[in-house]
Amino acid sequence: MQKPVCANDGTKKFTYSILFFLIFSSICTVLFPFSEIFTHIPLAQNEGWNAYQIDRVINPALGPLYPDPQNGLIFNNYPPLSFYIVAYFSKYVTHDVMVAGRIVSFLFMAASCFLCSMCVKSLGGKPIGIILSFFIPFLYTAMYFKWWFATNDPQWIGIFFVLVSLFISINCINSNKGNRYFYICLAAFFSVVAGTAKHNEFAIPLSITILLFFNDKKIFYTWCASGILFTALAFLCLKAIFGYNLIEDVFFHPRVMSLSNLNNMRDSSSWMQMLYIAALPCLIEIKDKKLRGVILIIFTVCLILGICQRAGEGVSDNAQIDTLIALAIVIGIGVSVFPEKWQGYRTPSMILLTILAITPPVIKSVTHLPTNIKNIQQIPAQQKRWDAIYNMISSNPRPSACRMLSICYWAGQPYTVDMFNLGQYLKLNGRNKIFYDMVKNKDFGMIEYSYCYEKNCEMEKNALFQNGLNNYHPIKTERRFGTFDRFYDVLVFYAPND
């Protein structure tokens, strides 16, 4: 691929100015999320679920990491790598599972943004493109994809490893050296490693497969052969360590699929609409057909698979993070090549594209700074409010059941039921009377279930409880908290009838 040539026409001064604004807006953005890292305030729906799994890695006496999914109330439909990474970080550094998960997630996210910028550099991106391709995923995640910014979730661990694979693959395509066969095997290895952290992170590996097919058949065959070999070895090792329960629950766990779930894409699509607008002229303007083909394949595959994944119930905006990364790569290359057309001028197109791409998160980060400072000041009061809930639950001698598992986790309750995954199983005509009988017999000292205002929630509630919840009565309702800004749930707590 021919590397873009950028005219020396004042873009250096513009690049430094943009870098300053991006660093300043990033500092404004992270102040509040960083202040929440060490709190016991739920930040994402999945945090408690992950914490319970990590505890089982640290203390196997709590139960197997992959229990029998057909004969119980708890499920683990994620591969194990992320749980072990966070477990060891917690054991040797933080001594707090939730804090460890949040820090690890942020570190892998920052490393992923760096790898995104390195991919742009390897494709011939200039400094302005390299800078943008780092800060676009960073700022958009912090400002709009908040459930995956410094929260206890494995999403960015999987993304990091597939971006390592993409970076190596791009350099293999651009290289004629004999050692590229070794490196493409290494890239395949990292893609498989990614699958042991997040098994549905396959948009970028598929992009690599298509790229290699069209650019170099020899390393394509090497990639495929090594990928199949590493995948087989991973399956054999995981099955030997964790048994067949892992294979069944991770790869065959039921998931309700419906095209109506695509309506949930409206928010994430609106967040990224300026990126789409900026990316379109970038794709058109790139004259190097090979370079344009590379980034077009990455963008198209990530976009299509992201849309397909959103059809799954419970799949949220994280399905669009791969598309966000692809857009960052497209724009990073686009602003690098646009100056070719206006040699000797101030490159108005590059400036316009840059402003289009970064204006939404930059403006939001600066204008929300006073609110963020106010929220930071309110954290101690909000923590007391949450502690009161945890104390209410822990004061009951019987086990409790929480839809939001982090509530039961911080209340010191055992891992009793995974309502979301059990609900998916029951909604697809699964049979499991254990939970219904426990609710009917009032075995739970307390039940937390969010107030339902959506059809999917009502269906899950009916599948889980049937008429059993009639044996309980609501004792407490908590609306959206001041620092509970990543949720819209209304929490309802139920106690058994006398």
* In the chain, domain spans: 11-36+77-367, 375-496
Please give the backbone phi and psi of residue 292, each rounded to the nearest 5 degrees, phi first: -65, -40
Confidence of residue 447 (pLDDT cuts 50, 70, 90): very high
Q: Give CA–CA dist 447/349, Å, rounded.
A: 57
Do 54 and 101 meet the contact criterion of CB atoms below 8 Å apart? Answer: yes
Tracing tokens 């509530």 back to the chain, one arrives at 407
198: its two tokens: 């997040």
pTM of the model: 0.93
Using one digit for the tens of pLDDT, what is the confidence trace for 269-295? 888 999 999 998 888 878 888 899 999
List, in sequence order, the alpha helices (H) in 177-216.
180-195, 203-215
Q: Which residue has the higher pLDDT, 340 or 63?
A: 63
Position 62 scores a pLDDT of: 94
Confidence of residue 7 (pLDDT cuts 50, 70, 90): very low
Amino acid in position 396: N
Confidence of residue 120 (pLDDT cuts 50, 70, 90): very high
Burial-class residue 405 by CB neighbours within 10 Å (0-12, 13-18, 19+). Answer: buried
What b/e string do you get for 193-225 counting C-beta neighbours within 10 Å, with b at 16 or more?
bbbbbbebbbbbbbbbbbbbeebbeebbebbee
Average pLDDT of 17-37?
94
Q: Is the pLDDT of residue 200 over 60?
A: yes
In percent, the amount of the chain with pLDDT more than 90 equals: 62
Mean pLDDT of the chain: 89
Q: Give CA–CA dist 245/71, Å, rounded.
A: 11
β-partners of residue 494 are 447, 474
Q: Give CA–CA dist 89/86, Å, rounded.
A: 5
Tracing tokens 């106010």 back to the chain, one arrives at 374
Using one digit for the tens of pLDDT, what is the confidence trace for 427-439? 876 666 788 889 9
